[in-house]
Amino acid sequence: MPSAPPASPPAFPCRKRSTGMCGRSAPAAAPNTCWPEEARPRSRKSRQARRDRPPRAGTSGPRQTAARKNRNHGRIAMFRMPRRAMLAGLLATPALPRARPALAQEGWQPTRPVQLIAGFAPGGGSDIIARTIAEACAPLFPQPLVVVNRPGAGGALAADFVARAAPDGHTLLLAGGSESTSIPAHREVPYDPKSSFRAVIRLTRNGHFICVRGKGGRFSDMRQVMAAAKAEPGRITHGSAGAGTLSHSLFLLLERRAGVEFLHVPYTGGGPVAQALLSGEIDLGVQASDELGGLAASGDIVPIALASAERSPAWPEVPTLRELGWDVQADNQKGWIGPAGLTDAMVTYHHDRFREGMKAPAWTRFMERIREVDGYASGPDFQRAMDTLLDDIRGALRRS
């Protein structure tokens, strides 16, 4: 029987179908299968091939879809816009807000987070000031600003910590209050408030209000208080935020200037002083402007004198002690100081950024809320103000 002729090769190459069993043996080899020539699917021509094909009869170029026509029309219209129309559009555009002036980036910059030390517990006045200015200045620093609370000893523990810190520009203290101007006059501290630090900038300055009980209280003005203090030496009581604090020293200064004597009752802060005043435990109390708030608005507490150089815009009807004849000033200042070894470049860097941050909305809203004006002072002026008050308090204590 004659053998069958050999099979002719297919008209187009064939590929084996994948079994989908990579790395495993199939139970049976898949047969070679091919598309018949007449049924093979047409492959889509490349984009370049479609562009190169000759135009159809009755047209002058390649076909365009509606989307492409619209897109090209928009491009052509944009580039063909008359110059006058473009200028008119630019002139009609609302003016953008002016950017903040660029701060110098040359020279020293912090290379790690900057610690902002507050010497009192979270939630207090110093803590709120530190956190508010840190928020306002955060975009101006290349490193984070980290508020660290180190409460104790009226702020003296925090001051000692910063005095011992490396003078590398990465540690600052919120100072200007009792730890800088009053406590060192009353007792020994492990730092020298005049030589252990270098002042950078003052942020706030507000005087202390001498207050009385508004409803059922004994006094209604400061002259009545001073007359009673002369008539009853050591009998008229006043409360302070603690022995050696600035609110305590205020009355020491007043005693020396007026030749009278009060009875000091120390508390642990401005809040307890207000409560003692409301309950009638004491005759007089000292409050900062941000502590008065609703108590003064309701008439429960009445400010009768201010220990500052000028009247407060928050309570313009309250006279200063100087106006009344007693030259006593005991401003509660807050600003940044650092270790004594800070370089000029470090001081300038921090000063310029904190000064710029004092223009930010977060800070201006805060100042409006506590009803205080801008308390800015340069580093040298801030240091002189602290030193002057410290010398006054030391002098009052020497004469006691």
- List, for residues 255-268, the tens digit of each pLDDT value: 999 999 999 999 98
The reply to whether 195 and 214 lie within a common domain is no
Q: Are residues 283 and 200 in the same domain?
A: no
Q: Is residue 360 assigned to a domain?
A: yes
d(CA 113, CA 155): 22
Assess if residue 362 is contained within a domain.
Answer: yes
Residue 323 belongs to some domain of the structure: no
Same domain, 177 and 218: no
Does residue 231 sit in the same domain as residue 286? yes
- CATH code for the domain in which residue 259 is found: 3.40.190.10
pLDDT in tens, 272-291: 999 999 999 999 999 988 77
**In a domain? residue 60:** no
Question: Is there a single domain that holds both residue 233 and residue 302?
Answer: yes
Q: Examine the domain organization and report whether 145 and 125 are in the same domain.
A: yes
Distance CA 24, CA 54 (A): 51
- CATH number for the domain that contains residue 385: 3.40.190.150
Which of residues 307, 341, 361 is at a domain's end?
A: 307
**Average pLDDT of the residues in 110-115:** 98
212 and 194 both lie in a single domain = no
160 in the same domain as 133: yes
Q: Is residue 299 located within the same domain as residue 253? A: yes
**Residue 7, domain member (yes or no):** no
What DSSP designation does 154 have? G
The reply to whether 132 and 172 lie within a common domain is yes
Does 160 share its domain with 300? no
pLDDT in tens, 52-98: 555 555 555 545 544 444 444 444 333 344 444 433 333 333 333 33
Q: How many domains does the chain have?
A: 2
Average pLDDT, the chain: 82
Task: List the domain range (segments joined by +) for residue 273.
Answer: 208-307
Q: Two tokens at 263? A: 């009875």
Does residue 11 form part of some domain? no
Domain boundary among 292, 307, 322: 307
Beta partners for residue 190, in sequence order: none
Q: Cβ-count burial of 168 within 10 angstroms (0-12 exposed, 13-18 middle, 19+ buried)?
A: middle
197-202: average pLDDT:
99
**Which amino acid, 13?**
P
Alpha helices in the chain (DSSP H): 47-52, 66-79, 83-92, 125-137, 156-163, 178-181, 183-186, 222-231, 246-258, 270-279, 289-297, 344-357, 361-369, 379-398
Residues 299 and 274 in one domain: yes
The predicted structure's pLDDT at residue 82? 44
